[in-house]
Structure 1
């Protein structure tokens, strides 16, 4: 691979065997096929993604021990042109990002070292309102996140007023959804159970660790978890987002918050940290998903005739096309890997992918779940198994959106037999694999030792950034200037 000094362009390098990568630059590990290791280095690369599209400037995940030559690609503009995300993954701060899969002999060799440390594991998740009274403030926290509503820098002052407006307008409908599933989200309870299960799985591997839960938009907030980590005097930390695939709006947003907190704290800035940015390619996860799909297929009278319907949480199309979010590529490869695992077990059902949960008039990733369900019914599909591929815990998008709205739409469209794969939750094989990921990530932990000069806002062209994201702000101004919306806003706020 030819080395070149290209600002903002990072690529994975292929490593022999299963040895750790100890690059001077920040790195994360990823496992697109089988067991392999990859690291960050500042290079240029030419490669192909898992669907054979040539790319010039991209993050290419290369094979180190695989039978296929497919690659997953994290597109260059995600790092090159977006100031917020460049701070996360391309800043001069020494964030070390965790290794995903190693051979068993390598994992065992590190146990002697990790037992001398005071290990912490931070699970990151979205969070959810636990009561109907929590819904509106939860929505406000969500829409106040600049990684959720991406306004041009010159209009950042609109972020909070717009978040207040949208949360007030959306709260009544959202409350209906949460009321339908019992009056609140079960996400915190399930995540706490997963944390306890991971802690016990680590203990079984002779790794004693404190496992913390940090939610992005509701209690316990990430900031609360970090304060507890400080009080416990953790000496090495692994950050594990409970999102299999990376997106700016999920893992990216949470990591940005962590960087902001760590940069301002003397203790935290010296704490060795390893971040696992994505883990959709891990064999344990893939096998666990295949197990659940297989179990649900067996409940149909004719399992071989069932269409496997993967429904992923959507993101705005601009995230992928303008900001270079790798979510779509990772999702497609994730499904490819699951279907390959099923085929190896003799399961060759047809399958398809669609994206759910879109909001507002802007274009989101297509195809849309609701539209595809209607199309499948029109094409004569009679048996459908829904797979909530983005989610490892049950919450509003699975319990209400899929189980109620989409099921009703499917049956109404002519689909006669409906099934749904449950979220992984505390499935033992899944929890064991996450524990393995933590152990494998520990050796790559590095301290965040950045000076203020290193962590200043990156240089950028204001006019170029304004033009690029201008259309994302049109909705904001439209909402603010619409008389009916202003009237509704005044009634609720004043």
Structure 2
């Protein structure tokens, strides 16, 4: 009798790309140094950047430590990302491929160098870079992909690699966000007097206006995300605004700012439901900036009610959307793909990664595209 074992399933290493965060108070300054010496973040001549980046990090260390102290002295991002990876592995467990998730943080551990070594030790047949940034920016996904490629080259990791650049308007992702907004909106509405109006603020991390003007598609993609979410909301007469938070430099940033919208809501006596639209995990920008600092500002401006939609974390709808995005990427022969396959950004956005790819390398597909 033939007792041959079944052929092993092809191995797919899914590298979840994220920002990272300090894991102790003493990690705050080196984390900030890594952040502000990144050429994608601090766009000044190279000979100035190390000195200026360290100066900015030194000046921001104490306030950053005070912020992290509010949430236990450390960022929860690593643990939340690990949980997302475990949930995604479980969602893909019955598929034809054997998928394992790895985490590559950009500015704190585990960073790309150590993750590339772990991926190499696992000996995958393919690698998929999956950003936990729904919208592409050169400052987030772009920087993370560059760091990964450098790390993979250092350790000699040479297997077919795909990049999923964005999923800003993916209907499954948007549907999960819409479900969370709907639930939070109903709860907020129920706690407010009938005469008080409720406005949804879709708040995203901001960028200097100069970066967007130079061709970064991030703002356009954020607006596409909001449009996709609103299209799935069944809230009659919805009042909503796209705004941007977390300004950290004196130059002009994209707007309107979340702070300005708080002030406007106070003047108009409109309650607010804030939805973090570019963050898929809770971290300092949600747990401190949105939940503490902006809440205090809202009270100062006389906003009659302040509520927040939780980040996705390991919400089944979000994990399900990621799982389907992985399957579709795996079935494709594109080395670089969006949630819909080819380029989605208008041509004016020259920093779209599809515009930067002079020759789009192909990878062998395990299934017909």
The normalised TM-score by structure 1 is: 0.64
- Contact map agreement 1:138 1:218 (CA 8 A) in 2: yes
Residue 92 (structure 1) aligns with: none
Query: Which of the residues 409, 412, 419 maps onto 2:307?
Result: 419
What displacement does 1:267 show?
A: 4.0
Query: Is it true that 1:315 corresponds to 2:207 in the alignment?
Result: yes
What is the aligned partner in structure 2 of residue 150 from structure 1? 43
8 Å contact 2:10–2:97 — kept in the other structure?
no
Task: Find the aligned partners of 1:115 and 1:315 in 2 and give their Cα distance.
Answer: 46
- 1:333 lines up with 2:221 in the alignment: no
Q: CA deviation at 1:446?
A: 6.5
2:85 alignment partner in structure 1: 195
CA pair 447-149 structure 1, distance change in 2 beyond 3 A: same
Match of 2:92, SS state, is helix
Q: 1:123 aligns with which of 16, 33, 36?
A: 16
| In 2, Cα distance between equivalents of 1:346 and 1:316 | 33
Cα drift, residue 115 of structure 1: 6.7
Alignment partners' CA distance in 2, 1:328 and 1:346: 25
Aligned pairs, number? 326
Tell me whether 1:252 sits opposite 2:145 in the alignment: no
Counterpart mapping for 1:52-451 below 5 A: 116-151=9-44, 155-263=45-153, 266-268=156-158, 271-300=159-188, 301=190, 305-322=197-214, 324-342=215-233, 345-381=234-270, 383-444=271-332
**What's the RMSD between the two structures over aligned residues?**
1.9
Listed as ranges, the gaps of 5+ residues in structure 1 are 1-113, 449-494
Alpha-carbon distance in structure 2 between the residues aligned to 1:419 and 1:170: 28
Q: Is contact 2:136–2:142 with CA below 8 Å preserved after alignment?
A: yes
Q: Would you say the 8 A contact 1:121–1:238 is kept in 2?
A: yes
Structure 2: unaligned runs, 5 residues or longer: 1-6, 337-369
Contact 1:305 1:349 in 2 (8 A): no
* Equivalent residue number for residue 37 of structure 1: none
TM-aligned CA deviation for residue 265 of structure 1 = 5.6
Contact 1:274–1:444 (CA<8 Å) still a contact in 2?
no
Find the aligned partners of 2:258 and 2:217 in 1 and give their Cα distance: 20
Q: How far apart in 2 are the matches of 1:331 and 1:380?
A: 27
Per the TM alignment, residue 447 of structure 1 is displaced from its structure 2 partner at its CA by 7.6
Indicate the SS of the match to 1:213.
strand
Partners of 2:156 and 2:72 lie apart in 1 by 43
- Residue deviations 1:113-149 (CA, integer Å, cap 9, x gap): x973111100000000011111000000001100000
Q: Partner residue of 1:69?
A: none
